[in-house]
């Protein structure tokens, strides 16, 4: 079975869609498929080649809404040349472009949360005859939240055409890490040996809610000199990053904006940390469709503190693999963070349960559903 996975984001571009496509490709090989990843919009980024499957760059190199017709033309030419049993549009840009292209094999679309209610697809759906999602045999949502959101915003879709395929965890996160490696990363990043460590990983933008976490820490009384909080991820919103930095400067804890770190370092930090903080906020224009970093952290044994926003309660079992607090409630979040400071052993006792919980999420199961193999 030949599978073509189409995307406008792929490695080394950071982010969930790029990881999603790469892991689907790897899982497809394990399942006996023949996948090829076709990527638009990579600019001058080098596209890594896998030893297990082919990756092909397509023009246009840089994505814009104006180039959607060109993308559709490129896809139509490619699918006439390549005989594929399944074409899988993995993000909203390719979903819109691919919808207008007829193919001989099956055609499926992967949706992830924010893209379901993005401005381009809502404009097309509401103001033109073209409804991209109707042109796919199946729409594959990355969580039950995303499935429900898809059906609510696109009520013309039949419920049985929208299925849920939760994401998985790369075995990289399950591999043991030597204590010496954890200590080496901690020393390089100048984390004091006796400090309690909190980490956040994700794009630095308002939706991720890092400012709420820093503000809640600033509310805490008592000695915070033994607390380090590392905020890891690229700055997508510089003005928001400056606001976070200003509030961090008023906090008595060691709070740092780290930028992007290698995933080897992040995995080591997950083994060193007391908990992951992922306090996203609800927004009308965006959504937390899954929360992959939470499951990756759990696979290392790290519990999470998350907000009750969108799909996040699906990936954290409250009281088992972490804790769920109310959105935009700094008082409740402050009390939870105070528990981290005063009773880190409570979180340490959850590590084995986190590992067990993460085992329910695997990429082979996701790929089987996405590609219609079950």
Which pLDDT tens digit goes with each residue over 203-250?
999 999 999 999 999 999 888 999 999 999 999 899 999 999 999 999
User: What does the pLDDT average to over 322-338?
Assistant: 95
Q: Are residues 267 and 143 in the same domain?
A: no
User: What does the pLDDT average to over 27-38?
Assistant: 96
**Residue 301 domain-assigned (yes or no):** yes
pLDDT at residue 125, as a whole number: 87
pLDDT at residue 374, as a whole number: 44
Q: Are residues 131 and 189 in the same domain?
A: no
Q: Are residues 114 and 199 in the same domain?
A: no
pLDDT at residue 290, as a whole number: 96
User: What does the pLDDT average to over 358-367?
Assistant: 96
Which CATH number characterizes residue 325's domain?
3.40.50.2000
Q: How confident is the model at residue 113 (pLDDT cuts 50, 70, 90)?
A: very high
Q: Are residues 61 and 150 in the same domain?
A: yes
Q: Are residues 151 and 269 in the same domain?
A: no
Q: How many domains does one find in the chain?
A: 2
**Residue 116 domain-assigned (yes or no):** yes
Q: Are residues 11 and 132 in the same domain?
A: yes
Q: Are residues 175 and 266 in the same domain?
A: yes
Q: Domain containing 127: what range? A: 2-164
**Residue 366 domain-assigned (yes or no):** no
Rounded to whole angstroms, the Cα distance separating 6 from 101 reads 13
Q: Record the tokens describing residue 161, joined without a space.
A: 């055409």
Q: Are residues 233 and 264 in the same domain?
A: yes
Q: Are residues 348 and 331 in the same domain?
A: yes
Distance of alpha carbon 304 from the chain centroid: 15
Q: Residues of the chain with pLDDT > 70: what percent?
A: 99
Q: How confident is the model at residue 4 (pLDDT cuts 50, 70, 90)?
A: very high
pLDDT tens string 157-171: 999 999 999 999 999
Task: Please say which residue of 116, 146, 164 terminates a domain.
Answer: 164
Q: How confident is the model at residue 119 (pLDDT cuts 50, 70, 90)?
A: confident
**Residue 21 domain-assigned (yes or no):** yes
Q: What is the average pLDDT score of the chain?
A: 93
Task: Please say which residue of 164, 199, 220 terminates a domain.
Answer: 164
Distance of alpha carbon 228 from the chain centroid: 24
Rounded to whole angstroms, the Cα distance separating 359 from 374 reads 19
Q: Are residues 157 and 177 in the same domain?
A: no
257-267 burial by CB neighbour count: b if 16+ within 10 A, else e? bbeebeeebbb
Residue 54 has pLDDT above 60, yes or no: yes
Closest CA to 109 of 120, 118, 99, 117: 99
Q: Look at the alpha carbons of 8, 9, 10, 12 in this order and tell me if their dihedral is positive or negative.
A: positive
**Residue 273 domain-assigned (yes or no):** yes
**Residue 368 domain-assigned (yes or no):** no
Rounded to whole angstroms, the Cα distance separating 82 from 293 reads 35
Residue 295 has pLDDT above 90, yes or no: yes
Q: Are residues 160 and 176 in the same domain?
A: no
- Inter-residue contact 40 to 58 (CB < 8 Å): yes
pTM exceeding the 0.75 threshold for the entire prediction: yes
Closest CA to 334 of 218, 207, 199: 218
Helices 179-188 & 263-272 angle (0-180, nearest 10): 100
User: What does the pLDDT average to over 115-141?
Assistant: 92
Q: Are residues 184 and 123 in the same domain?
A: no
**Residue 372 domain-assigned (yes or no):** no
Task: Please say which residue of 149, 164, 179 terminates a domain.
Answer: 164
């Amino acid at each position: 079975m030949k599978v073509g996975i189409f995307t406008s984001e792929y490695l080394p571009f950071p982010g969930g869609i790029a990881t999603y496509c790469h892991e689907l490709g790897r899982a497809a090989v394990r399942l006996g498929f023949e996948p090829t990843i076709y990527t638009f919009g990579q600019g001058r980024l080098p596209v890594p080649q896998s030893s297990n499957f082919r990756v092909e760059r397509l023009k246009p190199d840089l994505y814009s809404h104006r180039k959607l017709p060109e993308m559709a033309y490129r896809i139509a030419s490619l699918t006439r040349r390549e005989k594929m049993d399944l074409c899988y549009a993995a993000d909203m840009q390719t979903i819109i472009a691919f919808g207008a292209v007829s193919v001989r094999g099956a055609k499926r679309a992967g949706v992830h949360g924010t893209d379901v209610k993005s401005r381009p697809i809502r404009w097309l759906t509401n103001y033109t005859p073209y409804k991209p999602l109707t042109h796919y045999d199946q729409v594959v949502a990355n969580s039950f939240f995303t499935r429900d959101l898809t059906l609510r915003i696109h009520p013309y879709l039949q419920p049985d055409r929208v299925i849920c395929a939760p994401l998985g965890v790369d075995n990289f996160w399950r591999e043991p890490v030597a204590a010496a490696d954890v200590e080496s990363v901690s020393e390089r990043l100048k984390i004091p040996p006796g400090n309690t460590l909190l980490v956040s990983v994700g794009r630095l933008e308002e939706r991720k809610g890092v400012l709420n976490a820093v503000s809640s820490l600033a509310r805490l009384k008592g000695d915070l000199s033994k607390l380090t909080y590392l905020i890891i991820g690229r700055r997508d919103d510089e003005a928001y990053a400056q606001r976070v930095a200003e509030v961090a400067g008023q906090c008595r804890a060691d709070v740092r904006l780290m930028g992007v770190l290698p995933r080897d370092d992040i995995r080591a930090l997950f083994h060193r940390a007391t908990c992951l903080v992922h306090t996203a906020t609800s927004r009308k224009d965006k959504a937390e469709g899954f929360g992959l970093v939470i499951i990756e952290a759990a696979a290392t044994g790290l519990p999470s503190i998350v907000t009750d926003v969108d799909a996040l309660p699906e990936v954290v079992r409250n009281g088992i693999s972490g804790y769920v607090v109310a959105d935009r409630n700094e008082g409740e979040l402050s009390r939870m963070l105070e528990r981290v400071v005063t009773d880190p052993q409570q979180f340490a006792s959850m590590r084995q349960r986190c590992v067990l919980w993460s085992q329910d999420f695997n990429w082979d199961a996701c790929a089987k559903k996405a590609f219609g193999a079950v």
